[in-house]
Amino acid sequence: MIVKKSLPKVLICDDDKTLHLAIKTVLGNNYDLKSAYNGDEAVAILRNQRMDIVLLDMEMRHASEGLETIPRLIEIQNDVEIIFFSGKLDFKYVRDAMKLGAADYIPKDSGPEELKHVFSKTLQSKHLKNKNAQTQFELKKEYENISFIGESPAVQKIKKQIERAKNSPAPLIIFGETGTGKEVVARLLRKNQPDGFLEPFVAVDSSTIQSTLAESVLFGYEKGAFTGADKPTRGLFEEADGGTIYFDELGNMPLEIQNKLLRVIQEKEVMRIGAAKPIDLEFRVICATNEDLESWIKQGKFREDLYQRLNVLQITLPPLRERIEDIPLLLNHFTERLSEGRPRLNFLPEAVKQIQKYPFPGNIRELENLVMYLYTMCDSQDVSPLDLPPKYQTANSAGDVAGGIDSSNFYAAVEAFEKIYLAKQYDRMGANVSKMSQELGMDRSYLHSKLKNYGIHMTKK
């Protein structure tokens, strides 16, 4: 089946029928053309169907009709592109029409090629606007889904700090171990612009900035500045103009780049490689680090003047092991996000308790990886302690044993642990002794006697 590509929809609004025929002849079969002969007809047509472009005559029944029609059309469809044309060049009309929202102007005596060019240019502009609007919609949707999960006192403090720092232009450093959510906090500090769009946010991994390429990447370059520079190129600071530039793992930035970075932050201007004059910019700098930068300053690994320039505001993120009460909320968050249409995992209370005992050196990122692992490897929708990877079980087994054992005698300790272990497995498998026998690799009769000796209630299945 061949799907016919839809043509751009154009409405021609002019009281001269001969002109309609001429324009249709010029534009040919490249557009879906409709006709209106006054402003009221154009408004009525637009109420019934969307148009990409309206070609609007400025000289219909009276001189002001074209100007009066522009806001009426935009009120019905705010993304319609209006090209107005006239037999006489009047700069006042041009200025007034542009103020009212017209996209372009073309004289009536223009040749066919000029008419085609204006239409093509207007469509390209419309497509670019639509693309940018869609990008902004996706960015806002993504932004709305960003949150720093948790209700612990530590997280409540961080949320208050984010709200207080959000509207400040001052530089800010986010301190915290790897995986604690530093970039999430940086993105939550992002603001809406007056037009409702999100301000630019440019993330830079400081460890990937090599000295030989850093200047061209950060500051941009002019055509011919070096071999391969075949066109002018904006640097990351220019991309962040009007918004935020975020440097992740700041301590990894080479010393030779730190001096140039200091100047850009102080002067709020960049000099492209090969340029004759600097470019003025407005941006906010947010940095993140898992290092003790003051210690690095003493070791000569980081510039003290740059640190003092950046360290105006600070937010310190606690490791996950210091806010274990947030783990159930985080598990729920990752379970919902990673389910991808599959049945959601259900973490049994004993599994959550066991996870909370693990120290999480990789912090929130490691917890997310755990949920991903369980979606792949877990046989059941219900996650029990035995479904967890070995390191989680090893980390907690000593605590579990200690919690149920009150004996310094080795054999008594073994018996106590065996009783705890078999009771948990019995509950986990729904009192199904046959299933326990298979999964634990124990003879059924032997298992039966153990359960009887320990007074664990049995129901044959």
236-247 exposure pattern, b = at least 16 Cβ within 10 A, e = fewer? bbbebbebbbbb
The pLDDT value recorded for residue 364 is 94
> Digits of tens for pLDDT over the chain (461 positions)?
333 456 888 999 988 888 888 888 888 788 888 999 888 899 999 888 888 889 988 777 655 567 888 888 888 888 888 888 877 666 676 777 778 888 888 887 788 888 888 888 888 777 666 655 544 445 454 544 578 899 999 999 999 999 999 989 999 999 999 999 999 999 999 876 555 567 888 999 887 776 667 888 899 998 888 888 888 888 899 989 888 999 998 988 888 889 889 999 999 999 999 998 899 999 999 999 998 899 999 999 999 999 999 999 999 999 999 999 999 999 999 998 888 778 899 999 999 999 998 889 899 999 999 999 999 998 889 999 889 988 887 654 434 444 444 545 666 667 777 777 788 788 777 788 888 888 777 888 778 888 887 777 654 44
In a domain, 461, yes or no: no
Q: Are 308 and 178 within one domain?
A: yes
| End residue of a domain, out of 316, 337, 363 | 316
In a domain, 195, yes or no: yes
The pLDDT value recorded for residue 412 is 67
In a domain, 459, yes or no: no
Q: Are 86 and 129 within one domain?
A: yes
Q: What's the DSSP call for residue 302?
A: S
* pTM strictly above 0.75: no
Separation in Å, CA 148 to CA 144, 371, 411, 439: 12, 18, 48, 40
In a domain, 128, yes or no: yes
Q: Annotate 343-408 with DSSP letters as a single string.
A: PPPEE-HHHHHHHHTS--TTHHHHHHHHHHHHHHH-SSSEE-GGGS-HHHHHHHHHHHHHHH---S
Residues 126, 103: Cα–Cα separation, whole Å: 10
Read off the CATH number of the domain in which 235 is found: 3.40.50.300
| Burial of residue 365, with CB atoms counted within 10 A of its CB: 0-12 exposed, 13-18 middle, 19 or more buried | middle
Read off the CATH number of the domain in which 399 is found: 1.10.8.60
In a domain, 130, yes or no: yes
Q: Are 172 and 280 within one domain?
A: yes
| End residue of a domain, out of 79, 109, 136 | 136
**Domain with 37 in it:** 9-136
Return left, alpha or beta for 31; rule: phi > 0 is left, psi -120 to 50 is alpha, else beta: beta
Q: Are 39 and 73 within one domain?
A: yes
In a domain, 172, yes or no: yes
Q: Are 132 and 183 within one domain?
A: no
Q: Are 311 and 168 within one domain?
A: yes
Q: Are 21 and 130 within one domain?
A: yes
The pLDDT value recorded for residue 403 is 46
Q: How many domains does the chain have?
A: 3
Q: Are 82 and 33 within one domain?
A: yes
Cα Rg of the chain (Å, integer): 34
73 and 46 Cβ atoms separated by less than 8 Å: yes
In a domain, 144, yes or no: no
Axis crossing angle, helix 444-453 with helix 410-428, rounded to the nearest 10: 110
In a domain, 1, yes or no: no
Q: Are 181 and 282 within one domain?
A: yes
Q: Are 108 and 207 within one domain?
A: no
| End residue of a domain, out of 291, 316, 341 | 316
Residue type, 390: P
Read off the CATH number of the domain in which 84 is found: 3.40.50.2300
Q: Are 332 and 423 within one domain?
A: yes
Q: Are 55 and 124 within one domain?
A: yes
